[in-house]
Amino acid sequence: MRDLWLGLPVMAQDSMILTALLVPVAVIAVVLLRRFAPYVMVRALLRRHLAINAVFVGLIAMSVAIGCGLIAQERGLRRASAQATDKFDLIVGAPGSEVTLLFSAVYLQPADIGLVDGEAFAEIAANPRVALAAPIAFGDSWPGHPAVGTVPELIAHLSPQLAQGHGFATYQQAVIGASVTLSLGDYIAPAHGVGQLAEQGAHGGHEIAIIGQMAPTGTPWDNAILMPIEGLWQVDGLGDGAGGVAAPLMGGPFDAAHFLGATAVLVIPTEPDATDSLRQQFTRDDMMAILPGAVSSQLHGLMGDIRGAVSLLTVVSQGLVAIAVLAGLTLLIRLFARQLALLHALGAPLRFVSAVIWSYAMGLVLLGSVIGLILSLGVTSALSSMIEIRTGLSMTADIGWAEIRLTAAFILAAAIAAVLPALFGLRGDIARRVRG
């Protein structure tokens, strides 16, 4: 059976799970509503207590919207983080934490890590199976944007066609990411450091001209300012890494003895099959190589555990909401218990009265769930915008089958729970209830 299930198309699996969740609701409805039409009574109850009903519907809608929004956001974050590593085949850095190196080189997060020295970089760049060895250096910034020192080949790799302008040709020029709010021809003075620790004016008024802008990549690099690594070294008073050679070429070749260090090196192999062997070759006591996609997958595994916890918490919270709503409905039913008891005393079967109560409760649950699914689109969009601003990732979270199944499970739980007030809402002496 397991092999048969796994062999089904994903759409078929999702449809069958959704059907399995909704069929019991239909069965309960058939059992309670068979040969009855309680809709006039339900409509009257909804109109009579409109304000209270609106509160119940709003509570259900917010619960569904937040739960679905969180789950959709986790899926969108996994997709966006995977996209961010697409163009980073292999990253080489100083020995340390793989996750820290990933966050620093790919997500441009500030980190206190060691540098790749000249000898290590020269060995990487000279390897015949390496098509591109692009040094990446951090340390400077412009308000809200990291300044990244690198070589022209990295820009061409990330953005084969620039959105406007051209690549840098001198040490005093820079190319900005797609999300940087600067214009071509602007001049900036990078600060030394990042964030609150950045030292404005530490470079003696050294200015960089903006001469190009990359096309959108959907990664944190859209928020970066890319400048020649030699220029980054020069503004810090460290030299140009060429060992005093006159008119050094932009982007190297670098003199190993005068290479001033890089936070990481992006390595693109000549053939995809060489990636893993290069990782093994460059992982040793003096350097560490990581496959960003593999490290990201490990983080996704952790996020999967978090997703399970979030899903459980969402289900629990929705269950609590359902219990609260049904408890409120039970109290509300007691307010008009006299009218329902009178209806029963006039000859209406108890099953009809139960059908009225159950239909009334499910009307609120279904309406709240539908509104919640619609609101979840807005919740997802708002959360995506917040994450984009904070991480630079291009978020495309949307509502899918997982959220629809979660809502269907909530409706099933509410349908089962609503049977209780429907069955026990009129317990007690009918004559006493009729007399009020």
Alpha carbons 188 and 179: distance in angstroms, whole number: 16
Instruction: Give mean pLDDT, residues 117-142.
Output: 89
The pLDDT-based confidence of 199 (bands split at 50, 70, 90) is: low
Bridge partner residues of 133 (DSSP): 267
**pLDDT for the residue 233:** 81
**pLDDT for the residue 282:** 92
**pLDDT for the residue 222:** 92
**pLDDT for the residue 430:** 43
Please determine, for residue 373, whether its predicted confidence score (pLDDT) is greater than 80.
Answer: yes
More confident call, 328 vs 108: 108
For residue range 315-324, what is the model confidence (pLDDT) as tens digits?
A: 777 777 777 7
**pLDDT for the residue 434:** 41
Alpha carbons 233 and 240: distance in angstroms, whole number: 6
More confident call, 102 vs 49: 102
Please determine, for residue 410, whether its predicted confidence score (pLDDT) is greater than 80.
Answer: yes
Instruction: Name which of 205-214, 388-397, 417-426 the model is least confident about.
Output: 417-426
Instruction: Give mean pLDDT, residues 242-246.
Output: 49
The pLDDT-based confidence of 22 (bands split at 50, 70, 90) is: confident
Alpha carbons 347 and 254: distance in angstroms, whole number: 97
Contacts of 130 (CB under 8 A, 6+ apart): 124, 267, 268, 269, 270, 278
Please determine, for residue 296, whether its predicted confidence score (pLDDT) is greater than 90.
Answer: no
Q: At what angle do helices 401-417 and 292-335 cross, to 10 degrees?
A: 30
**Residue 29, Cβ neighbours under 10 Å: how many?**
15
Is-cis flag, bond preceding 253, omega within 30? yes
Which parts of 292-424 fold into alpha helices (H)? Answer: 292-335, 337-345, 350-391, 401-417, 419-424
For residue range 95-105, what is the model confidence (pLDDT) as tens digits?
A: 988 989 998 99
**pLDDT for the residue 247:** 41
Instruction: Give mean pLDDT, residues 190-209.
Output: 64
* Cα R_g (the chain), whole angstroms: 31
Alpha carbons 96 and 217: distance in angstroms, whole number: 28
Please determine, for residue 360, whether its predicted confidence score (pLDDT) is greater than 80.
Answer: yes
**pLDDT for the residue 139:** 77
Instruction: Give mean pLDDT, residues 284-302.
Output: 85
Instruction: Name which of 227-236, 277-286, 295-304, 333-342 the model is least confident about.
Output: 333-342
Please determine, for residue 299, whether its predicted confidence score (pLDDT) is greater than 60.
Answer: yes
**Paired tokens of 4:** 């048969």
Name residue 61's amino acid: A
Question: Do residues 199 and 221 make contact, with C-beta atoms less than 8 angstroms apart?
Answer: no
**pLDDT for the residue 293:** 86
**pLDDT for the residue 175:** 95
Cα–Cα distances (Å) from 167 to 74, 151, 161, 184, in that order, read 36, 10, 10, 12
Alpha carbons 317 and 304: distance in angstroms, whole number: 19
Instruction: Name which of 159-163, 258-262, 267-271 the model is least confident about.
Output: 258-262
Mean pLDDT of the residues in the chain: 80
Percent of the chain residues topping a pLDDT of 90: 22
- Which long-range CB contacts under 8 A does 11-18 form with residues at least 24 apart? 14/401, 14/405, 17/405, 18/401, 18/404, 18/405, 18/408
Distance, CA of 229 to chain centre: 32
The pLDDT-based confidence of 347 (bands split at 50, 70, 90) is: low
Please determine, for residue 201, whether its predicted confidence score (pLDDT) is greater than 70.
Answer: no
**pLDDT for the residue 433:** 46
Please determine, for residue 403, whether its predicted confidence score (pLDDT) is greater than 70.
Answer: yes
**pLDDT for the residue 246:** 40
For residue range 156-172, what is the model confidence (pLDDT) as tens digits?
A: 999 999 999 998 888 88
